[in-house]
Amino acid sequence: MKATIKTYGCKVNQYESQLLNENLEKSGYELSDYRESEVVIVNTCCVTEKAESEARRFVRKGLQDGKRVWITGCAVRKENDFALLPGVEIFEDKEVLTRLKLAGIEGITRFFHHTRAFVKIEDGCENFCSYCIIPYVRGPVRSRNQDDIVREVENLAGNGYKEIVLTGVDIGAYGRDTFTDIVKLLDAISRVEGIKRIRISSMEVFHLNVNLVEYLAGNGLVCPHLHIPLQSGSDRILALMKRRYGVSDYLRKLDMIRKKIPHVTFTTDAMVGFPGESEEDFNLTCRAIERCGFIKVHIFRYSGRKETPAYYLGGQVPESAKKERESVLKRVAEMVSFRIKKDFIESPVEILVERKKGNAFHGYSLNYIPVFFNSAKEFKNEIVKVRVKDIKNGKLFCVAG
């Protein structure tokens, strides 16, 4: 039977889809594209109404096209109307392998269509930010066994993967429930032969203590780039969001990290239109983005989830105002990004080549900046040294050598 998976949402969902792919393949399914597949598995996300709506439209399309549609992921763990769609089959995550009678593989060995492999190290979150549905659908922190993770990384390295991206819902909380910590895990992964880069996908600012940052600085394989969600530059809004820091705390932490890790870069998440956000609150966010110096800002418009406390706050911001603020913040973020990236001009950078189009090769630097360079040579999944010559559309254009 031919099957395909459509994935919505975060890197955790992408990892879980890869795990499902390998289980399907091991169980005798043939992985195919949408047009040829008899079975379509939809791995859903419920962080925003938009993500849910897109998944719902895709499910309806599958049913209209005569596909057998199986649904899993975060959106089926909350109250939703997927079950009302006639003909769909819904699987909770714990059920999906057993009810589909799959092979029961618990670790991945490759990552389809990716040069870098995502490795999930934990699930669940206990932060309960007021806008976020994830703790309600993912549950408490549950750390994977370190030996299982290392074995998975060994398998990936044996299949030629050089960069591992550690992911999870709240990876800074790794080990809280198993009396270990992420430093011990990183130390074990660093000893895996063949791994050249370890990247941390996202970590909350309050997890980045001095001891952890000093370890990251001295590891040698951990990339000098951190994704640290900011969400807002207004202390008042951060308090309403139930974030566990203020703007000054966040800025001090970035300063400490910059002193410990040379040439480190930062990316972040920022939300616009949280209930009660005034123009002044929004302006504070713009100023914070300028002061922090991010190379990229993932901007989200607030999306109310009725399972969360923020849904019931007053001062809901009109959608038109959210879109306008998103547009303004995007321009600010691009200006800041250009300012940071231009310091790389005439500097050497190392990139892991991910793909080729014509004679142009594309990859990411250690600092997680997209890089392009031209060469008549062939590079595939190789780490290449190049020199930055220009910046175009947010990307570094380089020459080899």
Domain count, the chain: 4
CA 67 – CA 63 distance, rounded (Å): 5
DSSP readout, 321-362?
HHHHHHHHHHHHHHHHHHHHHGGGTT-EEEEEEEEEETTEEE
Instruction: Pick left, alpha or beta for residue 358 (phi over 0 → left; psi -120 to 50 → alpha; otherwise beta).
Output: left
361 and 339 fall within a common domain: no
Please give the structure tokens belonging to residue 161.
Answer: 């993967």
Of 342, 42, 19, 374, nearest to 167 by C-alpha is: 19
Helix (H, G, I), strand (E, B) or coil at 121: strand
Which CATH number does the domain housing residue 9 bear? 3.40.50.12160
Query: Which of 304, 325, 344 marks a domain boundary?
Result: 344
What pLDDT does 9 receive? Answer: 92
DSSP readout, 143-211?
EPPHHHHHHHHHHHHHTT--EEEEEESSGGGTTTTTT--HHHHHHHHHTSTT--EEEE----GGG--HH
189 and 127 fall within a common domain: yes
pTM for the predicted model, two decimal places: 0.94
- Cβ-proximal residues to 147 (8 Å cutoff; 6+ apart), any chain: none
237 within domain boundaries: no
Query: Which of 73, 99, 125 marks a domain boundary?
Result: 99
Which CATH number does the domain housing residue 359 bear? 2.40.50.140
244 within domain boundaries: no
What pLDDT does 96 receive? Answer: 67
Residue with tokens 């922190």: 141
232 within domain boundaries: no
What pLDDT does 89 receive? Answer: 82
What pLDDT does 216 receive? Answer: 98
Query: Which of 223, 247, 267 marks a domain boundary?
Result: 223
What pLDDT does 99 receive? Answer: 64
322 and 354 fall within a common domain: no
CA 256 – CA 193 distance, rounded (Å): 31
392 and 340 fall within a common domain: no
378 within domain boundaries: yes
2: number of Cβ within 10 Å: 14
CA 127 – CA 206 distance, rounded (Å): 11
323 within domain boundaries: yes
Low-confidence ranges of the chain (pLDDT < 50): none
125 and 219 fall within a common domain: yes
Residue 191's domain comprises: 111-223
Write out pLDDT tens, residues 156-213. Answer: 999 999 999 999 999 999 999 999 999 999 999 999 999 999 999 999 999 999 999 9
120 and 192 fall within a common domain: yes
294: number of Cβ within 10 Å: 23
Which CATH number does the domain housing residue 303 bear? 3.30.750.200
